[in-house]
Structure 1
Amino acid sequence: MPKWSLRRRPGRTLGLLLLLVLSFLVLRRYLNPKVGSCDREGALRLNWTSVLPLWLQRQRLGLRTKGPNFMLEDSTFQILGGSIHYFRVPREYWRDRLLKLKACGLNTLTTYVPWNLHEPERGKFDFSGNLDLEAFIWLAAKIGLWVILRPGPYICSEIDLGGLPSWLLQDPDMKLRTTYPGFTKAVDLYFDHLMSRVVPLQYKHGGPIIAVQVENEYGSYNGDHAYMPYIKKALEDRGIIEMLLTSDNKDGLEKGVVDGVLATINLQSQQELVALNSILLSIQGIQPKMVMEYWTGWFDSWGGSHNILDSSEVLQTVSAIIKDGSSINLYMFHGGTNFGFINGAMHFGDYKADVTSYGKLRCYIDRGWRLHCQIHQASRTLWNLLRRPSTSST
């Protein structure tokens, strides 16, 4: 039997090379699936090493709950968030503000989505320039931040009509934030356009969005018991598959809950922390606790006094929340600027945030240093947990 030789079998050599190239291309496609059509910078999956270790990168279980803990894949995860609204920050400064958020030890960005800016006229949508939500979310991902999206449709956010477009009021019978057909028809059209952009950005599709909020503080309004289930279904019907959350203050918490949606709370003082442990427990049993909005300050109204929150109180409350193992979102981390008189009755939304409206870090001795030492310590503890593969079953 003749001895096989590459020199005497050029046809086989070429075939072998073609097979190797084909195998490489197939393997590459498998390891780097396309993220989605909205990724304008290519189909390569983002590098998440700044958020998760390599052994977790290919898993796609998403954010879940397990007893009192959030779980990201199979590891305990504490959400350390900060709010920055892309529509209140010039696009040229997005990166600067997000880098400062990351540098303070936070791991998650939260942002509202203003319907009135994205659909200023009925049926005319704008997601360009400073309203390019997709670009903002991808930038956060590249910096190493997870994202919790708060799309409303009502967002409050100290913005005119709570972010609802004023043209809704052209209907003399309009009933906002209800299942009134004129309102739901407008919401459905808006969500059709918005969610087509959001869906590919979800964690299970390779994006950074780990959770989506259903409406906003509806427990304080609660005008239609069918409304919140409608909003939940509207999100799910359009492809939202990540964890759903609600957000309410202590007084509205019990009236804002929705079946199958995790309730979170908004507060400012240590006294209100009692609600975090008692009301939440009575509503949904043993579940992860999260302060969706820890108010780092407060807004100012026209003609009113300037609101200032004592830095030592901020430190004590945030420290208590973190030590309790609860997740937290600083509202606001950076208040930004209300352009074009979008603010309505409120003229200043800085919230005494960690980063001023013009981008300067506030240098409080207690708040700016000791507070973020607490956050950085929580981040290091979380990272050590994430580095160890879990041996427990899911």
Structure 2
Amino acid sequence: MSNLENLNPVQLVKGYLSSIGMSDDTISKYFDENHFNRALILNLPSVCLMPQNKPGASKSNQTHIHVTGDPRHFFFPSEEVANRTSASKDERIDIDVSLANIKALHKNSASISPNDLEIKRSFTLAKIAHRRSQENQVQISKIKLDDSLFIDLRLGLYKNDLLVFLGYSDSDRLFAIGIPKEYYSSVASVGTSVFFNLHDTAKIQIKSALKRIEASYDDNEMISDMEAIADSIYQQQIVEAEPSVTQHAPMPKAGKVTSLSERSKRSAAIGKEAIKDGDYKCAIDSSHLTFQSKNGSPYVEAHHLIPMAFEDDFENSLDVKGNIVPLCPHCHAKIHYGKFDDVSNMIEQLYSERKDVLALSGIGIDLETLKKYYL
């Protein structure tokens, strides 16, 4: 029999849902392996239960769920957990729950439809609790402030039942599900709580960092910082990407991604293609020196001449190679942060060289309108 540490958490959830009568098709549609990037399995001791669910001999007045050890890093970066010298503020954690799961936990299986997980939105709270004599812990749930559906989920859980959190790959939301001991004890021995990185650790760290920044700044400052961080990530992705092969032609928009601010998606492969087509040289002055990137090519950065922030003004995508110019780091910083007279001269030069391919890409624009985008 496996320990909890050796289980695939997504497979554990799928197996449990099958045991309560959910159809394989319904489970497979929602629980694709790539749908989630991290998981936390909490084995609940008596002190972490709702008061009415604690064993009769329990004298604990605790109502939150405490998390210690590595599983703490599911909710907060390891450095922040370790370095806190006082308690953090409670942070809202947006989650999805399954009413089918809650019904099963409350012995109401007769009302479960095998073709409907009944996914509903909910939330709980989490914070870092500082303790002088012991390591800091993460505390989840405030029963007076949590959403009622999360409370219903907790009310269905008893000693050594599992509370499982799965982190979505494409958002900061979590999926939460309860699994009774009666089910998992048939496939795994009782163990400690476990934190799993299912895919790319770097992506998880980036999301966690952005979440911390969102909580630390006012909205206007935050949006500016988020854009700078997003561009830094984009440039790093370009270094590692394989170039695409596209034509100078109109392309449909790729949609948007949302964190605190909404911004259009950008393809690192197209950015790399534009840089390669420019022979890895700065479009302002090909003699500008730079350094070698990790892949051995000169390091230049991709800049969207018509800024992506204005894509809503156009019918077609701005993320096309005709709109992407390779710039050395100095010129890239200058076009974003330099004096407008200098920026204006750069725009005039780049526009003169690019206006024909912009038109071919279905994003024709006049020079004065383009300059206004940089004001």
- Using the size of structure 2 for normalisation, the TM-score is 0.21
| Greater relative contact order (CA < 8 Å, ≥ 6 in sequence) | 1
Task: Tell me which structure has the larger Cα radius of gyration.
Answer: 2
